[in-house]
Structure 1
Amino acid sequence: MSETGQKEVHGFQTEVKQLLQLMIHSLYSNKEIFLRELVSNAADAADKLRFRALSDADLYEGDGELRVRVSADKENNTITISDNGIGMTRDDVIEHLGTIAKSGTAEFFSKLSGDQAADSQLIGQFGVGFYSAFIVADKVTVRTRIAGGAASDGVQWTSAGEGDFTVEGIEKAGRGTDIILHLKEDEAEFLDDWRLKSIVTKYSDHISVSVEMLTPEVAEVPESEGPDGEKIPAVPAKPAEWQACNKATALWTREKSELNDDEYKEFYKHVSHDFSDPLLWAHNKVEGKTEYTSLLYIPSKAPFDMYNREKQHGLKLYVQRVFIMDDAEQFMPTYLRFVKGLLDSNDLPLNVSREILQDNKVTQAIRKGCTKRVLTMLERLGKNDKEKYQTFWDEFGQVLKEGPAEDMTHKEQIAKLLRFASTHENNATQNVSLAEYVERMKEGQDKIYFVVADSFEAAKNSPHLEVFRKKGIEVLLLSDRIDEWLISHLTEFDGKQLQSVARGGLNLGDMEDEEAKEAQEKLEQEFDSVVTRIKEALGDKVKDVRLSQRLTDSPACIVTDEQDMSSQMMKLMQSVGQPVPESKPIFEINGEHDLVRHVADEQDDEQFKQWTEVLFEQAMLAERGSLQDPASFVSRLNKLMLSLTK
């Protein structure tokens, strides 16, 4: 219970102060969105009351007609947005209007650049909601009372949007929330009823709750006589009345033929709190064993906290058009967590909980249907509009790469959606599909070749690619952190095995000509004793030493045995604190390289050992990006360079 008249002053959370300043300046060119955000919040409050009242009808307090009302007061220079929804307690007010209760806020602010146009997009992804009021107001007053509470439970929140806000107890007869905006001097345009109505119609036509505005009061006009003596009937007085200025029909319940793109786009902004238009969407009504309506959107921009596993994701869930919950994650796999939208089921109970959803057969059927719908939507986009699909991939590709490990059922369909950089394009853009790679495979090629590295540059310049470049064989260049994890679960495509060029012995099969095979055999005989000598010099540092078939320009390289963990997987496990099993690399030398021939001719055993270790450590550095003892490597290299000057 709030004590009437008790006033407290609170400081804003630091992030709120930052957001207010950035938002007021960055979003000023699109300032009318304040009304969209506040009406959307009010509609959500009505939805939440409708759900809570399913188990406690007394919360309606005798008034079950849920609504949002917008009014302007020119005399006092204010706009009021009122709802008779769930309302807030004193603790709710302090928590929701004084803090940004989102994980990843520090990351969000670190990405702000100071460029207003760019920052406005990021702020839009963050979702400004209530704080958008300060775009047009220099002071905001919130009067609220929780549904089912007493009149004395009312709370008033007031702030000028600077360092602090005040909270005090008030008497409030009706439930719900009134937000009173004290407009800045230069925002008088929003006091015009026609302007407000046009904004509501533009942004909030789809909201299922009635958004009402007052019609003008009509004064009584007495009966009169016209110029020719005819009687003009009297016009009775008509008081101002609240009238709905939106359709107040849930958009997803309407037929697709009735809806246009603009309506779909505005509804997306309502459910996602994103400022950008969606990239594409799918609106479907499913009938049969399971009946539900889905409206699924692919955003055009990734949210700043997409990789935060603690962030809630999912779809809005309605049951028979009654709002049940936000972020119902059970209906969409984690690798599709970027999908926004809603589901309206006819088969789930109104009192459904997250626990019931987890193991519910209806949930599983809807999840399967929605997953297939999204993957099919993306597959069509990839075929019909490559430029638009590239936009999607650049934003969400790394998340989609989680799919083959998570969803065995749809692994083949997901594989068709993947895009990679490759030696065919020779740039960092990931725009090569596995299907395109297979189409370009050389005669006699039966594998899809790839290399994984820490960066695109490291992948592109990997010594393992040298023989593939010489023979014109395309290799996929993988440099995203998740790529090694992806490849461990995606072992083939279209009947073709995926093969790392840095793993195991190289066998190009039918692509290797007889002349090259004979030359390799001759070289192996020539270097047989050198290979044995190198093995002795390196001892237990390596699993094996052999003459390379993959090198043409580099003197040596490191290769991972087929049964061992790759270098990239070891780094991935180490980065998350997991123990890494010990494994030794295979050391390959290029018998045609001048440096290797120089080492082979070295008769002094100590000098030979020093040269061998330098070659080995260079190869380790090129493959893994670091050495366990870099100081020893530098010292050894310096001694060898000095010996050459004598």
Structure 2
Amino acid sequence: MTTQTEKFEFKAEVNQLLDILVHSLYTNREIFLREIISNASDALDKMRFAINSEPDLNDEIEPEITISYNEENKSVIVKDTGLGMTKEEVMANIGTIAHSGSAEFVKQAAESKESLDSLIGRFGVGFYSIFMVSDKVIVRTKSYKDGEAAIQWVSDGKNSYELSILDEELTHGTSIEIFLNEDMVERFGSEGKLKDIVSKHSNFVSFPIMIGGERVNTVTALWREPKFQIKQEQYEEFYKFLTYDSQPPISTLHFSVDAPVQFNSLLFIPEKDLDIFGMDRDNWGLDLYVRRVLIEKQNKNLLPEYLSFIKGVVDTEDLPLNISRETLQDNLLIGKISSTLTKQVLGQLEKIAKDDPEKYAQFWKAHSKIFKAGHMDFLNRDKYSKLLRFDSSKAEDETLIAFDDYIERAKEDQKEIYYSVVASREAANLNPHLEIFRSKDIEVIYLYEPIDEFVMESLREYSEFTLVAAEYADLEKLDKFESAKKENEAEPLSDEQEKDMEALAAKMKEILGEQVAEVKISERLSDSPCRLINPDGAMTSSMEKIMKAMNKDNSIPTKTMEINADHPLLRSMLNIFKTNADDEFIALSSKQLLESALLLEGYLSDPHALVGRIQNLLTKAGGWYAKLEEKD
């Protein structure tokens, strides 16, 4: 029964606001329930504070939120046992919303391309999201203060609202009955559908949310609990709830921060890459909560993408509910949280690498491809570079090494860390660029993936050591290290032979023409007959291939050919050249050497000419060998 009913007209800008809310294409209408639950949770928090701060207040009503669906009225009813409102508070909070910035909201809603669900909370008008799904709302509320009457607020969300004093006894708290529009009944008209919304948006609200006599929010917000009270089994159970991964995580990171931003966080490092087929790369980010209420699923501003394998939640007190995605990206608080989280994750990985190398190797195998993209994180370069792992010429038993391992084994006076992009260890053993390192017993890091070279190019140095591509190592810096003596080492060329070898190189350039920039005698090669390098030395062969692929350039680059004057093939060619400079063997061998080098470099797309030439040479060599056998 009601008495003293009064009718109030909405102000002009409030009418505009309601018109926008009701008639706009709202992208996420279900958040009306999240807004009401958040308001109810705030009321319960305030009631708890009142009980603690007012010794004379004797209250035994259980704090809870109850949600039900009335099939007859097609209405959703949300009740809380919070502190309730007086008539004055009703008028101040929901009787008018001009004080909450409704005029500014209307202006921005008209101008902004953002969805309205991101604007609502910023202007304190979350309650009015109800009118997205309803054309009638009844609010009944009773303040916990002695002597205050129960109040009823009724509106159709159009031009006016009615305010009445209820002549009946109610316990403190608020009840909101939302009469669903006809086209909203199918979406929200059952307790099962309401449970789904609560589980999605309000699962970790600290007060019980009851639907159909059953508590819906049963999962504890572990990140809010003291670490010493939580067992490992609880962490693993929460991780499985969060990710649906059947395996426990490699590591758990649970911490609270008070400054510069107050937030709680619970993060996990999965045992394996959860994007098994590489088809779900955009499915990453941490769940962002504000006071246990989900603000954004998979927020991508809290961690850099190279840490996208991390799963978990972040909960802060310092952000407003419903902060927009656009504002999140530019929000200074989010930036500070991100900076802290990144340092914490890298610190945890560093600890695992130090304390449990086997577990770190498991992490590296699962997540290294994503992690390597962190070479652009200049603020955390030192921490990041310590965590990198590589294969190398001295790595044993498939054990990967860190830069620090390389430095420990480096030769005295060596201030370079040498690396080379190779297809495999077997390919590295045939790589002519690495021969000088093998002869001088200098370790070379092997890079197997294109991103590895970008990592090296970006880092450039580590702990006073310069990162250098083996292909263009400075000979002066290598010459100070002694080379191992070779068996059956070739006799040094005489001065006359050196001049003839120079002439042979010029002849080979003449034969190969524009296919090479130059043919010159190498100072590096010891086993291979030749190698190819870029004329200007500005870019490694592997980086050049990456750039050409990016530009969809399939042409074969013009390179400088270096020949090994001590190789038996070049010595044979020299002997033939001195007898007959135009001998067919010189031309065949020159072309064969070039195409074999191109094949090793990965540039030879059509091997037919090379195969035909090999067969021709084998035929001739077989004939020569047969004649020698006959003479013997």
TM-score normalised per structure 1: 0.62
Q: Could you say which residue in structure 2 is the equivalent of 1:466?
A: 435
Which residue in the other structure is 2:394 paired with? 424
Aligned letter for 1:502? Answer: E
Provide the rounded CA distance (Å) in 2 between the counterparts of 1:153 and 1:435.
Answer: 62
Mapped partners of 1:257, 1:325: distance in 2: 28
Instruction: State how far apart, in whole Å, the 2-side matches of 1:283 and 1:211 are.
Output: 26
* Partner in structure 2 of residue 407 of structure 1: 377
Task: Within 5 Å, give how 1:318-333 maps onto structure 2.
Answer: 318-333=289-304
| In 2, Cα distance between equivalents of 1:463 and 1:621 | 13
State yes or no: 1:633 paired with 2:614: no
Whether the aligned pair in 1 keeps the contact of 2:249 and 2:271 (CA below 8 Å) is yes
Distance 1:281 1:613, change over 3 A: same
Deviations 1:505-564 (A, max 9, x none): 644042147999x99897994633333332333222223333334333222222335644
**Contact persistence 1:556–1:588 (CA under 8 A):** yes
- Correspondence for 2:335: 364
In structure 1, give the amino acid aligned to 2:308.
R
Candidates 595, 601, 612, aligned match of 1:617: 595
Q: CA deviation at 1:642?
A: 2.5
- State the 1:349 CA deviation: 1.8
Deviates more, 1:535-544 or 1:257-266: 535-544
| Cα drift, residue 612 of structure 1 | 0.8
Aligned match of 1:486: 455
Name the larger-Rg structure: 2
**Matched residue SS, 2:288:** strand
Residue matched to 2:193:
176
Gap change, CA 1:433 and 1:562, over 3 Å in 2: farther
Provide the C-alpha distance between the structure 1 equivalents of 2:78 and 2:512, rounded to a whole number of angstroms.
79
Amino acid at match of 1:639: N
The answer for unaligned runs of 5 or more in structure 2 is: 1-27, 44-62, 69-76, 80-177, 197-202, 624-632
Q: Secondary structure at the match of 1:592?
A: coil
* Corresponding residue to 1:643 among 607, 620, 630: 620
Task: State the distance in 2 between where 1:66 and 1:544 align.
Answer: 82
Residue 344 in structure 1 maps to residue 375 in structure 2: no
1:282 is matched with which residue?
A: 253
SS at match of 1:588: strand
Q: Residues 456 and 478 of structure 1 are in contact (CA less than 8 Å); yes or no, is this contact kept in structure 2?
A: no
* 1:297 counterpart residue number: 268
In 1: Cα distance, 2:33 partner to 2:211 partner: 22
- 2:410 maps to 441
Question: How far, CA to CA, are the matches of 1:307 and 1:522 in structure 2?
Answer: 60
Name 2:282's counterpart in structure 1.
311
1:271 maps to which of 242, 249, 255:
242
* CA displacement, residues 191-242 of structure 1 (integer Å, 9 cap, x when unaligned): xxxxxxxxxxxxxx9885748799xxxxxxxxxxxxxxxxxxxxxxxxxxx4
Q: Alpha carbons of 1:291 and 1:207: their partners in 2 closer, same or farther (altered >3 Å)? A: closer
Do residues 149 (structure 1) and 191 (structure 2) align?
no
Matched ranges for 1:70-149 at <5 A? 149=180
Distance 1:322 1:443 in 2: 59
Cα deviation 1:449-479 (Å, max 9, x = unaligned): 1110234432344232223223221111111
Residues 575 and 272 (structure 1 numbering): CA distance in 2 closer, same or farther, change over 3 Å?
farther
Aligned Cα root-mean-square deviation (Å):
4.1
Provide the C-alpha distance between the structure 2 equivalents of 1:55 and 1:561, rounded to a whole number of angstroms: 67
The Cα of 1:268 is off from its aligned counterpart by 1.4
Q: Secondary structure at the match of 2:334?
A: helix
Aligned pair count?
A: 457
> 2: CA distance between counterparts of 1:389 and 1:558?
38
Secondary structure of 1:331's counterpart equals: coil
Distance in 2, matches of 1:56 and 1:213, equals 17
Q: CA deviation at 1:173?
A: 5.4
- Alignment of structure 1 residues 112-261 onto 2, 5 Å: 149-150=180-181, 155=186, 172=189, 174=191, 176=193, 210=208, 242=213, 249-261=220-232
**Counterpart contact for 2:533–2:559, Cα < 8 Å:** yes
* Separation (CA, whole Å) in 2 of partners of 1:585 and 1:635: 23
SS of equivalent residue, structure 2 residue 395: coil
Instruction: Establish whether residue 544 from structure 1 lines up as the match of residue 521 from structure 2.
Output: no
Cα distance change of structure 1 residues 531 and 443 upon mapping to structure 2, 3 Å threshold: farther
Match of 1:392 in 2: 363
- Separation in 2, partners of 1:347, 1:532: 74
Question: Could you tell me which residue of structure 2 aligns to residue 334 of structure 1?
Answer: 305
The whole-number CA distance in structure 1 between the counterparts of 2:466 and 2:402 is: 15
Question: 594, 604, 618: which one pairs with 2:568?
Answer: 594
Q: CA deviation at 1:285?
A: 1.0
Indicate yes or no: 2:527 matched with 1:553.
yes
Partner SS, residue 271 of structure 2 = coil
Contact 1:152/1:172 (8 A) holds in 2: no
Q: What secondary structure, in the 3-state scheme, does the structure 2 residue paired with 1:316 have?
A: strand
Indicate how the Cα distance of structure 1 residues 340 and 586 shifts in structure 2: closer, same or farther if over 3 A, else same: same
* 502-511 vs 371-380, greater mean Cα deviation: 502-511
> CA 1:173–1:641 in 2, change beyond 3 Å: closer, same or farther?
closer
**Partner residue of 1:139?**
none
Contact 2:286 2:299 in 1 (8 A): yes
Tell which deviates more after alignment, 338-347 or 462-471: 462-471
CA spacing shift, 1:386–1:174, aligned 2, 3 Å? closer
Do the aligned partners of 1:68 and 1:209 also contact (CA within 8 Å) in 2? Answer: no
Instruction: Give the conservation status (yes or no) of the 8 Å contact 2:469–2:540.
Output: no
Aligned residue identity for 2:416: K
Q: How many angstroms does 1:298 deviate by?
A: 0.9
Q: Which residue of 1 aligns with 2:345?
A: 374
- Give the residue type in structure 2 aligned to 1:149: L
Question: Deviations 1:75-130 (Å, cap 9, x if unpaired)?
Answer: xxxxxxxx999xxxxxxxxxxxxxxxxxxxxxxxxxxxxxxxxxxxxxxxxxxxxx
**Change in 2 beyond 3 A, CA 1:271/1:175:** closer
Task: Tell me the distance in 2 between the aligned counterparts of 1:408 and 1:519.
Answer: 52
Q: CA deviation at 1:52?
A: 4.5
Q: Is the 8 A contact 1:306 1:338 kept in 2?
A: no
C-alpha distance in structure 1 between counterparts of 2:473 and 2:517, whole Å: 12
| Cα distance change on mapping 1:462 and 1:513 into 2, 3 Å | closer
Residue 453, structure 1, aligned to residue 418, structure 2: no
SS in 2 for 1:396: helix
